């Protein structure tokens, strides 16, 4: 439906529509295309997928045929790889994978890291993006670490490659602490083993013991975990409360706040269950 144009001539103070001029403008004006609003719908879909993908990245749920960061990235690339949201997710995914791979290297889990990086490299090939610059270096470090050491010189090369893979940059330390903060807010203090706040903070402290932010998060993990465990017990969720405390004690045996929480849980569990006495009769 075209827009109406009107030109006004003033005759004795009244506005009069000039029909001829209006028709002429309508004929010369560009007509809108009769197309379905695909672009707005695509934006909505990509926005939704981006939110889901970001959640998987924060939880380090990278791999899997569905409900994973890799799966979301693959789907978004299939819709529109050049879209701003797709490019943003791919950038964040690259950072997340590189940090997790480095974390595996520092934790002497190079096999896990190698598997993750190879799958990530395959994803990049499948969706048609340039391989990340850090991937060859990481895979080479893994390859060197798996080779049998024959000569002392070869051993030095192997050690150098492994140390390079384990070295944390300031950017990587910041990313680890950002991830730890997110996991603390999600109550993932000590589990799952693949991604929890304690392991990330401990990784930073092992590498940089004086890091004030890491020390702050270390204390907060135990304070919040102990508080949450007692809250669970007070709500009657004794099994979940004990599981939370024991998962922390498995990380740091004898931790005072967790031990105090465990004592409180046992105390609450030993108390007789409160019964609600129903009133009989009317008012």
Summarised one tens digit per residue, pLDDT across range 148-162 is: 544 454 555 455 455
Which of the two residues, 82 and 157, has the higher pLDDT score?
82
Distance of alpha carbon 213 from alpha carbon 177, whole angstroms: 8
Span 8-28, average pLDDT: 45
* pLDDT per residue as tens digits for the range 208-252: 999 999 999 999 999 999 999 999 999 999 999 999 999 999 999
pTM: 0.60
> Do the Cβ atoms of 85 and 50 come closer than 8 Å?
yes
- 3-state helix, strand and coil shares in percent for the chain, rounded to the nearest 5: 65, 5, 30
The pLDDT assigned to 9 comes to 36
Task: Classify 249 as helix, strand or coil.
Answer: helix
Q: What does the longest C-alpha to C-alpha distance in the chain come to?
A: 107
């Amino acid at each position: 439906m075209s827009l109406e144009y009107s030109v006004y001539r003033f005759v004795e103070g009244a506005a009069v529509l000039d029909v001829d001029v209006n028709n002429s403008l309508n004929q010369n004006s560009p007509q809108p295309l009769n197309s379905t609003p695909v672009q707005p719908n695509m934006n909505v879909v990509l926005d939704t997928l981006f939110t889901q993908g970001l959640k998987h990245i924060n939880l380090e749920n990278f791999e899997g045929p569905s409900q994973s960061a890799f799966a979301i990235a693959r789907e978004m690339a299939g819709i529109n790889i050049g879209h701003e949201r797709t490019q943003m997710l791919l950038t964040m995914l690259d950072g997340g994978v590189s940090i997790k791979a480095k974390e595996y290297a520092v934790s002497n889990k190079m096999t896990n890291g190698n598997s993750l990086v190879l799958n990530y490299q395959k994803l990049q090939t499948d969706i048609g993006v340039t391989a990340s610059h850090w991937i060859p270096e990481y895979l080479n470090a893994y390859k060197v670490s798996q080779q049998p050491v024959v000569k002392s010189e070869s051993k030095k090369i192997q050690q150098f490659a492994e140390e390079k893979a384990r070295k944390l940059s300031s950017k990587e330390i910041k990313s680890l602490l950002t991830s730890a903060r997110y996991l603390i807010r999600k109550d993932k203090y000590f589990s799952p083993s693949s991604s929890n706040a304690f392991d990330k903070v401990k990784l930073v402290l092992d590498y940089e013991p004086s890091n004030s932010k890491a020390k702050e998060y270390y204390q907060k993990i135990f304070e919040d975990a102990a508080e949450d465990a007692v809250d669970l017990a007070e709500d009657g969720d004794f099994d979940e409360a004990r599981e939370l405390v024991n998962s922390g004690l498995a990380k740091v045996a004898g931790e005072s706040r967790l031990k105090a929480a465990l004592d409180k849980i046992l105390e609450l569990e030993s108390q007789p269950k409160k019964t609600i006495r129903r009133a009989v009769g009317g008012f």
